[in-house]
């Protein structure tokens, strides 16, 4: 992740390059089986993507990189029954399928990600991100996102979701737009999330002179096909 090897030895890059807060036991989760009523859809991983944008910060920020982290192995279900408030969904995000700094994805994100990143830096970032201090993929192989409520807003729709990441459950409001056609749903959204809201503490070293921004960018496109 870092340009200078001496700094690299000190840094554990994460999905947001942070360290998880003490994990809390999540409340009992509802069944992951879609409700009996309504039309059922299955998430299509071939057309779906989650993209995470991570930013460096501090007066020594030039020693680090911004990162684009992409997952295209999403799965899950959606049920739609009448009004948005009657809909529900659950999404599974396999931790091992996050790809760090794919050149095409970095190019698509523009000037903030124009620097090249070495293969060693990419693999190091991925290794630490999946390790026990962050996503703990060995013990928690997937992140889950499940809807609690869905409501109409002036600009589209907003879902309140429960996110389980490495055993820590948090809630988040996610605005999105929905395109519905015969046998197909496509939900897209862009938002900024604080890592601390997800149970992560952003990395900070040298008294904050080199750190990772708490705020990360999330972009998603979720396509689901009728069963």
Quote the CA–CA distance of 34 and 76 in Å, as a whole number. Answer: 10
Quote the CA–CA distance of 177 and 186 in Å, as a whole number. Answer: 8
| Domains of the chain and any CATH numbers | 47-226 (2.40.128.110)
Model confidence pLDDT, tens digit, residues 173-227: 999 999 999 999 999 999 999 878 887 666 656 655 656 677 899 999 999 999 8
Phi first, then psi, for residue 179 (nearest 5°) are -110, 120
80-93 CB burial, b ≥16 within 10 A, e <16: beeebeebbbbbbb
Model confidence pLDDT, tens digit, residues 152-172: 998 899 999 999 988 889 999
Mean pLDDT, the chain, integer: 81
């Amino acid at each position: 992740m870092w340009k200078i090897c001496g700094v690299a030895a000190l840094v554990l890059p994460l999905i947001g390059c942070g360290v998880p807060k003490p994990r809390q036991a999540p409340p009992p989760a509802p069944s992951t089986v879609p409700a009996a009523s309504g039309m059922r859809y299955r998430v299509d991983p071939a057309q779906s993507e989650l993209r995470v944008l991570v930013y460096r910060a501090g007066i020594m920020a030039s020693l680090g990189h911004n990162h684009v982290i992409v997952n295209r192995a999403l799965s899950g279900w959606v049920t739609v029954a009448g009004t948005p408030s009657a809909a529900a969904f659950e999404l599974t995000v396999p931790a091992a399928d996050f790809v760090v700094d794919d050149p095409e994805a970095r190019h698509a994100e523009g000037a903030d990600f124009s620097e090249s990143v070495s293969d060693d830096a990419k693999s190091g970032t991925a290794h630490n991100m999946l390790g026990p201090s962050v996503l703990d993929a060995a013990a928690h192989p997937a992140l889950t996102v499940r809807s609690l409520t869905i409501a109409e807003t002036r600009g589209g729709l907003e879902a309140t979701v429960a996110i389980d990441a490495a055993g820590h459950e948090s809630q988040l409001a996610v605005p999105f737009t929905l395109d519905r056609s015969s046998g197909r749903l496509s939900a897209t959204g862009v938002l900024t999330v604080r890592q601390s809201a997800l149970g992560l503490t952003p990395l900070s070293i040298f008294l904050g002179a080199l750190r990772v921004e708490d705020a990360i960018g999330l972009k998603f496109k979720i396509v689901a096909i009728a069963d």
